[in-house]
Amino acid sequence: MPRNSDLFSAEHEQQRLKALDAYQILDTPEEPAFDEIVEMASLICDAPIAVINFVDRDRQWFKSVKGLCVRETPLDISICAHAILQPDLFIVPDTTQDPRFANNPLVTGEPHLRFYAGALLKSNDGYPLGTLCVLDYQPRELTERQCFALQALANQVMAHMELIRTHREQAGLIRELEETRLELSKLATTDQLTGLLNRRAFEHRLDQELALIQRDNHPASFIMIDLDHFKTINDTLGHQAGDKVLARFANLCREVFRQADVIGRWGGEEFVVMLPSSSVEEARHAAERLHKRLATTPMLEDTSSPLYITVSLGICLLAGSSTFNDCLYKADNLLYQAKEQGRDRTVYEQPGTFSSTSS
Ligand SMILES: Nc1nc2c(ncn2[C@@H]2O[C@H](COP(=O)(O)OP(=O)(O)OP(=O)(O)O)[C@@H](O)[C@H]2O)c(=O)[nH]1
């Protein structure tokens, strides 16, 4: 809460302007709620001019105004700038008789203001932000009841501004919560090292695809991929290098497979891909692309010699009659065969038999 002795200090002025900025009221459009208060002030005080006005850095700005056709005036001719330095209602019965205002251009020229009464608009931490004021073209006074009403209306202006501020802050909090929720849901579905879907999210996506397949009967293909001799990479180059390889491999998969294909990290050095509306033959083509790319793309380049890897794959059909576990079992079996047959190859399901292609 500012002390009276602080009222003229530069530091107090800085704090006051900060308090004003916090309401984000300056240069906002006219609003009926404020216009009605101004209308009531004019009516109750029987004054032709009424203004809700805020004292800014080098201007006074009118949120709502009746009886004048401007929305701001320079600070050096502002009567309100004097009003906000007073602790209470500021009344100038006759401006021509007050040495502070007798030469003010608003008094000596248009609109020839003669009477001023301003009630403080105070922030909730006590800073005077502006006034609700009434003005007249002739010298006069306000009754005690009018003074009371003017201050009560000024308090209503501030109560309304507090409400707007609280709404804005709440909206900001809701936005932040939503962002956090999205972030958390991304974390819950993403494998941190590779940025691919994690096992749980992949399973969920595959269940959805199975439900679709059961409806429209367009089978998908499922690929299980395992990096060959990955343990050797960890053992010879370290776990960190192993991590780099996994991340690089995930990026390569993103490039090799189509946008519509769903790629996940099943765990360790095992990856899974679901290719919607694709035959095993189509999946096999994608697998070939992967083998070829791996043969020409080093996974690590900052080693003594560039590191290339190979992978083994199992491909099966994901048909409407399958369950996820059937499919997993089949693909795992096919992958096992690929390893058994010497690695760096794809074994794929053919009706009734399993077939293998070596890369
Ligand atoms: N760097 C790293 N290594 C991992 C991660 N997850 C699993 N591994 C390692 O992956 C290796 C897998 O080894 P194995 O299951 O023996 O398989 P492999 O060496 O690839 O041999 P084959 O699959 O038979 O070709 C183990 O050494 C695990 O510690 C990981 O997130 N980062």
Measured in Å, residue 269 CA sits from the centre of ligand 1 at 5
Distances (CA, A) of 197 to 264, 272, 300, 324, 336: 4, 10, 23, 16, 23
Comparing C-alpha atoms, which of 23, 16, 2 is closest to residue 160?
Answer: 23
Measured in Å, residue 111 CA sits from the centre of ligand 1 at 86
Q: Does 231 lie in the same domain as 166?
A: no
Predicted local distance difference test score (pLDDT) of residue 5: 41
How many domains does the chain divide into?
2
> What does pLDDT average to in each consecutive run of 10 residues of the chain (359 residues)?
51 94 96 98 98 96 96 94 94 97 96 97 95 98 98 98 96 96 91 96 93 89 97 95 97 97 97 96 97 97 90 94 88 97 95 60
82 phi and psi angles, rounded to 5 deg = -80, -40
Predicted local distance difference test score (pLDDT) of residue 353: 54
Predicted local distance difference test score (pLDDT) of residue 358: 62
**Position 278 in a domain:** yes
CA 316 to chain centre: 42
192 burial level (CB within 10 Å; 0-12, 13-18, 19+): exposed
Give the residue, out of 193, 234, 345, with the most ligand 1 atoms within 8 A of its beta carbon, to mutate for a pocket test. 234
DSSP E strand stretches across the chain: 49-55, 59-66, 72-74, 90-92, 115-122, 128-136, 220-227, 262-267, 270-275, 311-318, 345-350, 353-358
Tokens matching residue 90? 């500021």
B/e letters for 268-295, b = 16+ CB within 10 Å, e = fewer, are: ebbbbbbbbebebeebbebbeebbeebe
**Position 189 in a domain:** no
Q: Does 209 lie in the same domain as 164?
A: no
Domain that holds residue 255: 199-358
Q: Please check whether residue 47 is in contact with residue 136, taking contact to mean a CB–CB distance below 8 angstroms.
A: yes
Report the complex ipTM: 0.93
Q: Does 166 lie in the same domain as 211?
A: no
What CATH number does the domain containing 78 carry?
A: 3.30.450.40
Amino acid present at 172: G
**Position 118 in a domain:** yes
Tokens matching residue 294? 């791996």
pTM above 0.90, yes or no: no
Measured in Å, residue 249 CA sits from the centre of ligand 1 at 14
Task: Tell me if residue 30 is catalytic.
Answer: no
Q: Is the CB of 348 under 6 A from ligand 1?
A: no
Amino acid present at 14: Q
Compute, in degrees rounded to 10, the torsion defined by CA atoms 22, 24, 30, 36.
-20
